[in-house]
Amino acid sequence: MARESESGLPIEPVYGPAAQAGWDPAVELGEPGAYPFTRGVYPTMYTGRPWTMRQYAGFGTAAESNARYRQLIAHGTTGLSVAFDLPTQMGHDSDAPIAHGEVGKVGVAIDSIDDMRVLFGGIPLDEVSTSMTINAPAALLLLLYQLVAEEQGVSADRLTGTVQNDVLKEYIARGTYIFPPKPSLRLTADIFRYCRAGLPKWNTISISGYHMAEAGASPAQEIAFTLADGIEYVRAAVASGMDVDDFAPRLSFFFVARTTLLEEAAKFRAARRIWARVMKEDFGARDPRSWMLRFHTQTAGVQLTAQQPEVNLVRVAVQALAAVLGGTQSLHTNAFDEAIALPTDKSARLALRTQQVLAYETDVTATVDPLAGSYAVERLTDDLEAATLDLMRKVEDLGGAVAAIERGFQKGEIERNAYRIAQETDAGDRVVVGVNRFQLDEEEPYEPLRVDPAIEARQAERLAALRAGRDRGAVDSALAALRKAAEGEDNVLYPMKEALRARATVGEVCGALREVWGTYVPSDTF
């Protein structure tokens, strides 16, 4: 049903040539919800309901993160997004020497099913959608989540959410890889097959440009290298024997939203159009859901400043608006104090309120694709599409995403762009409010949230108790079955699940796979 403006004028659900007599768009835009989805993947977009408001959170122990999740849900969050600490992301237990000093710092420490039970205690997993930002050990965390759901009496076919599971971007921009690319792609394909058989509503991968953008990628580089990674995952799945339409509808993407609102909105529109054509024309997908680029957005953490941190509230609002105008399916808004430390309860709540103001107090949800037909946005969309396709062709000429990664192509391109941005900022040509213009003589004091360093010792105690209280023979037998599957061609997720059920730790499971697959050592020759 059409909404009315503040002046009492009707706002049409969709505008276009038919709704505006005499308007002759410069390009053929198509309709929302129709191929090639320039105007959005769904016909009604936010006129039916707003995007999923998903807040990224996790720190310290599972109990502390559980308390934060409960607060977010109480404040109106419609989806959880779990941040894991670096040891968990890299497949190490909290008491491993390499984990010292990092336990619970940038996310929650999860060592075993015991921690996962605490993390989601009292949260009905059949009623909440959960995204997990985990890559190399993504299979483990997904299985732990499923095991906890089973203990709650929730069947796997009722679980909804996303596991990031995008290891290729780790080699390009982030570094939390474990295994070499070939077995990593095999593990990704195993996750696709496992979820198709048992978790039909779960998004099996969130192919991520966000971290590339945070490392300095331009908008064109962000979507080019992300879509190139997506193509590599599709090829790996097809090569493993899957039909493209068996898994492509559950693919999803993850992008940044910067303060450059017009270009960001155009970026999302161009990305949808390119992916639709790739899936339909290059891979022969027949299911329209396989053509859709559905994506989550997070506002740009790299653009937040420690100087005058309250100004970040304005930045985040503009970034969030860019994501909404670009047609995101879910959104995380950063807290204004994240450039200083972990968000406080108040700053996390303000970040969520930013989304709620956009959804319920503005009129951007009253009509689908409100920027459609804008001369500036349509030209930016076309130009970004052309620049992106040019970069994607360069990746293909090098042999595809993995071959280009091994040559250091994407990393080198991103680093050159990051250096250019740094030069412009240092010279004052790129204005950053509060940093190189409009500074204060003295910053106001701010008391950030800090993680208790004693968490590491407490996690070590929990691990010691777990090892003392479990059936060691059952763990060893399950890990042996996992190693055997990894040596062959069987899906490793089934023996992995049994090992985790037997209370094997994250470090032990990843260690078993390291014994078979080895670890990735990056090349310095680029």
> Quick one: pLDDT band at residue 50, thresholds 50, 70, 90?
very high
Which is higher by pLDDT, 523 or 104? 104
Q: Return the ∠ at Cα 122 (arms to 120 and 126), rounded to 5°.
A: 75
% pLDDT > 70, the chain: 97
| pLDDT per residue as tens digits for the range 63-108 | 999 999 999 899 988 789 999 999 999 999 999 999 999 999 999 9
According to the model, what pLDDT value does residue 153 have?
A: 97
| pLDDT per residue as tens digits for the range 312-357 | 999 999 999 999 999 999 999 999 999 998 888 899 999 999 999 9
According to the model, what pLDDT value does residue 286 have?
A: 98
Q: How far apart are CA 200 and CA 194, in angstroms?
A: 9
Q: 218 to each of 51, 222, 264, how far by Cα in Å?
A: 25, 6, 10
Cβ–Cβ under 8 Å, residues 29 and 373: yes
Q: What are phi and psi of 137, to 5 degrees?
A: -95, 30
Q: Is residue 55 classed as helix, strand or coil in its secondary structure?
A: strand
% pLDDT > 90, the chain: 88
According to the model, what pLDDT value does residue 55 have?
A: 83
* Arithmetic mean of pLDDT over the chain: 94
| pLDDT per residue as tens digits for the range 416-461 | 999 999 999 999 999 999 999 999 998 888 777 778 889 999 999 9
According to the model, what pLDDT value does residue 18 have?
A: 54
Mean pLDDT of 488-511: 98
According to the model, what pLDDT value does residue 445 have?
A: 84
Show the DSSP H helices in 123-172 as ranges: 138-152, 168-169
| pLDDT per residue as tens digits for the range 134-164 | 999 999 999 999 999 999 999 999 999 999 9
| pLDDT per residue as tens digits for the range 226-284 | 999 999 999 999 999 999 999 999 999 999 999 999 999 999 999 999 999 999 999 99
CATH architecture of the domain covering 46-427: Alpha-Beta Barrel (3.20)
What is the full DSSP assignment across 274-308? HHHHIIIIIS---SHHHH---EEEEE-GGG--SSS
Instruction: Give residue limits of the domains in the chain.
Output: 46-427, 455-517
On the question of pLDDT at 111 being above 70, the answer is yes
Q: How far apart are CA 392 and CA 401, in angstroms?
A: 9
Mean pLDDT of 170-174: 93
On the question of pLDDT at 525 being above 70, the answer is no
Identify the CA nearest to 161 among candidates 236, 77, 57, 54. Answer: 54
Tokens (6 digits) for 269: 């529109």
According to the model, what pLDDT value does residue 25 have?
A: 47
Provide the CA 406 distance to its chain's centre, in angstroms: 23
Cβ–Cβ under 8 Å, residues 232 and 168: yes
Is the pTM above the cut of 0.95?
Answer: no
According to the model, what pLDDT value does residue 29 have?
A: 79
On the question of pLDDT at 28 being above 80, the answer is no
Cβ–Cβ under 8 Å, residues 504 and 496: no
Sign of CA dihedral 170, 176, 182, 187: negative
Mean pLDDT of 453-476: 96
According to the model, what pLDDT value does residue 23 have?
A: 47
Phi-psi region at 373: left, alpha or beta (left = phi > 0; alpha = psi -120 to 50): left
